A = this chain, B = another copy of it.
């Protein structure tokens, strides 16, 4: 069994929990889980969500079953097994600032250090193998050293993600069990030298940053397609608009900048030159819901100077795409723990993440990252 904790009980977390339980009962196929066609040491069915956290007052105290009901409606098959996972109160620290819901946070009830300790104690009881961070994108910077990281985190001068990362490292150190922290949002953890040092010294692993779903990996593979034909890409435009909380949050410039940064290295890394590009989350429109609209356009120079054009329009369910990847990341996280690894694993990050850590790693085409991942797993 693989024991997983969810930080954040929004769309992604709920879709993940519901999808996993539906797979277990045979109600749905294992599509959207990249490695499900290979034999890994752990099956998809081996994953157990042992706890979920949030700071939204509408969620804390409710079960994942209740949250599934809210999202999918009364007619949908939400497995009753999710009734036993009740959402716990997490760390807030302004991670939900500006968003239209009433929130709580452990640090509002206890001094920060005490709040963190409470969290670690809970985790010691829950015995997670993997802790998955899917809270709303928040602003955050990198630390140059472990000391700077710990200092700022304990002083309250850090985003919730970094507090969670610190707690995970502490949990690993105190229990000696090891743990993998999967950072699926852009706030830098695997690309954060200070936190990475902390993980290495604590015997913990981090996968990150920013789960590579949606249009960005598609753009990466399209750019590779151009590069392999030596076409000269003149420009790339990629718009994204959605109606879920993540897009609402990204209308805030600070959060948006987080997202842009994770996407920007790709163009130069793959093409070998920094083709002019406009690639970013563009807006929020409520009725689009979780199924975002992506519009892309690129032009390139072909043989003898001729110019070609490509236009892409897509509707992509944002949360399920990420949830499917998390299923593998949880299994890979447990494998990393079993292997007694610490720090981060580029081979995992390069395929699954928009900004693969460690800092300054190359952002290669996803299709080549996939081959490297299979190789790392001994599958190719």
Known: A285-B278, A370-B228. A303 touches B239 (CB 8 A): no
Bound together, the chains give a CA A304 to CA B324 distance in angstroms of 8
**A254, CB-defined interface residue at 8 Å:** no
Query: In the complex, which residues 248-292 of chain A have their Cβ closer than 8 Å to any Cβ of chain B?
Result: 272, 276-278, 282-288, 291
- Given the complex, which residues of B lie within 8 Å of A225, measured CB to CB? 217-218, 221, 366-367
- Given the complex, which residues of B lie within 8 Å of A36, measured CB to CB? 230
**Contact check: which of B237, B288, B307 meets A241 at CB < 8 Å?**
B237
Known: A31-B231, A282-B282, A303-B32. A315 touches B320 (CB 8 A): no
**A232, CB-defined interface residue at 8 Å:** yes
A235 near B285: Cβ-Cβ < 8 Å: yes
Q: Determine the residue in chain B with the shortest Cβ distance to A322.
A: B303
B367 near A304: Cβ-Cβ < 8 Å: no
**Contact check: which of B32, B229, B312 meets A34 at CB < 8 Å?**
B229
- Given the complex, which residues of B lie within 8 Å of A297, measured CB to CB? 293, 295, 313
**A interface residues (Cβ-Cβ under 8 A, vs B):** 15, 18-19, 22, 28-37, 217-218, 221-222, 224-225, 228-232, 234-235, 237, 239, 241, 272, 276-278, 282-288, 291, 293, 295, 297, 300-317, 320-321, 323-325, 327, 365-368, 370-371
Bound together, the chains give a CA A283 to CA B256 distance in angstroms of 15
- Given the complex, which residues of B lie within 8 Å of A224, measured CB to CB? 221, 367
- Given the complex, which residues of B lie within 8 Å of A231, measured CB to CB? 31-32
- Given the complex, which residues of B lie within 8 Å of A310, measured CB to CB? 312-314
Q: Determine the residue in chain B with the shortest Cβ distance to A221.
A: B225
- Given the complex, which residues of B lie within 8 Å of A365, measured CB to CB? 367
Bound together, the chains give a CA A37 to CA B367 distance in angstroms of 21
Q: Determine the residue in chain B with the shortest Cβ distance to A212.
A: B229
A18 near B304: Cβ-Cβ < 8 Å: yes
B230 near A37: Cβ-Cβ < 8 Å: yes
- Given the complex, which residues of B lie within 8 Å of A19, measured CB to CB? 303-304
- Given the complex, which residues of B lie within 8 Å of A312, measured CB to CB? 310-313
Bound together, the chains give a CA A276 to CA B289 distance in angstroms of 12
- Given the complex, which residues of B lie within 8 Å of A293, measured CB to CB? 237, 297
A327 near B314: Cβ-Cβ < 8 Å: no
- Given the complex, which residues of B lie within 8 Å of A314, measured CB to CB? 308-311
- Given the complex, which residues of B lie within 8 Å of A311, measured CB to CB? 295, 311-314
Chain B: minimal CB distance from A144 (Å): 33
Known: A225-B217, A310-B314. A301 touches B29 (CB 8 A): yes
B31 near A230: Cβ-Cβ < 8 Å: yes
Bound together, the chains give a CA A315 to CA B312 distance in angstroms of 12
- Given the complex, which residues of B lie within 8 Å of A302, measured CB to CB? 31-32, 316-317, 320-321, 324
Q: Determine the residue in chain B with the shortest Cβ distance to A282.
A: B282
Q: Determine the residue in chain B with the shortest Cβ distance to A232.
A: B31
- Given the complex, which residues of B lie within 8 Å of A33, measured CB to CB? 230, 303
